[in-house]
Amino acid sequence: METTFIILAVVVFLALAFDFINGFHDTANAIAMSVSTRALKPRTAILLAAVMNFIGAITFTGVAKTIGGSIADPTKLDNGIEIVIATLIAAIIWNLATWWFGIPSSSSHAMIGALAGAVFVGAGSDSVNWSGFIKIIEALIFSPLIAFAAGYVIMMVLKWTLGRRSPHTVNKGFRLMQIFTAALQSFAHGTNDAQKAMGIMTFALISAGEWSSLEPPLWVKLAAATAIALGTSVGGWKIIKTLGTKIFKIEPMNGFAADVASASVIFSATMLHLPISTTHAATSSILGVGAAKRFREVKWGMAGRIIVAWFITIPVVAVMSGLIFKLLF
């Protein structure tokens, strides 16, 4: 019993570490637009994002249930806790590596790929719920495409309706509205991303026989919400720079359009209980807005680097988690 408690404590520590890293890794998703256009000062933007992430995190649990039960059934795994430990170590390593190089890769891809890889190696291919896994992968694939289209359409509508007005007046108005869209984006981020740490902790608790429901315990909700809020308060400046300056020159109207597009996609996924990449949604919406604004001005080479990171994350992290499981257990 004491050994189980210690191992669970390690799992909780790693899950909250992942959540904290997710917070500063993905802070850029919520505030890059408002910071780059100077709608908000960096410290103010980060504080706003932290508060709204916390509120979003404790409001919904549907995504946590998907993470906790759709990739594998924790009640049927004899080594579920060990699988979770390998999963979290691999996801944390990947998140730190991509943060260091300023690449806005996906924490969601890292978590889902690592869990699938660890289950595959630790319990066998039959233990992976392939239908649930494929459903999540479909959401991860289609959500950035939808976000790109949404960003493109919203930006085109704004160009058609406001294109002849004074740029100074338009930018002033949208700079103010960006405060609200940054808050909306941060709230949406919390409703989806914090749920992943909640789900993996619940997965471990069920595997250990300490919990029987996919609904996370209250302390798990509060711990995950606090961790992602604290991580958000640290800020991920390298990724903020990539999203805010290295794709195309963003003006307030562009930032507003990108935030509305990505927040809408993220929140829709949350309501469908689907874990998606908030990074993918945010980046794709920026690319969509940029394509609508002026296609040639988008730095597609940087976009290509980001897309490559999207595609390699799941297989690379799956292999990593499998190797970590073999090495440790």
pLDDT in tens, 134-183: 999 999 889 989 999 999 999 999 989 987 787 778 888 899 999 999 89
Q: What is the pTM of this model?
A: 0.88
CA 236, 238, 239, 243 torsion: positive or negative?
positive
Question: Which sequence spans correspond to the domains of the chain?
Answer: 2-328
Q: What is the dihedral of CA 10, 206, 127, 318, to 10 degrees?
A: -30
Q: Quote the radius of gyration of the chain (alpha carbons, Å).
A: 19
Say yes or no to pLDDT of 25 above 90.
no
Say yes or no to pLDDT of 310 above 70.
yes
Say yes or no to pLDDT of 236 above 60.
no
Q: Running DSSP on this structure, what letter comes out for residue 297? A: G
**Which pLDDT belongs to residue 150?**
97
Which residue would you say has higher pLDDT here, 204 or 238? 204
Say yes or no to pLDDT of 235 above 70.
no
Percent share of the chain, pLDDT over 70: 91
Q: Which residue, among 18, 173, 188, 47, has the nearest Cα to 111 in the 3D structure?
A: 18
Residues 6+ apart with CB under 8 A from 49: 27, 30, 31, 182, 186, 189, 232
pLDDT in tens, 4-24: 888 999 999 999 999 998 887
pLDDT in tens, 51-74: 998 999 999 999 999 999 899 999
Residues 6+ apart with CB under 8 A from 155: 253, 254, 257, 288, 289, 292, 293
Say yes or no to pLDDT of 83 above 80.
yes
**Which pLDDT belongs to residue 301?**
72
pLDDT in tens, 255-299: 899 999 999 999 999 999 999 988 888 888 988 998 898 777 677
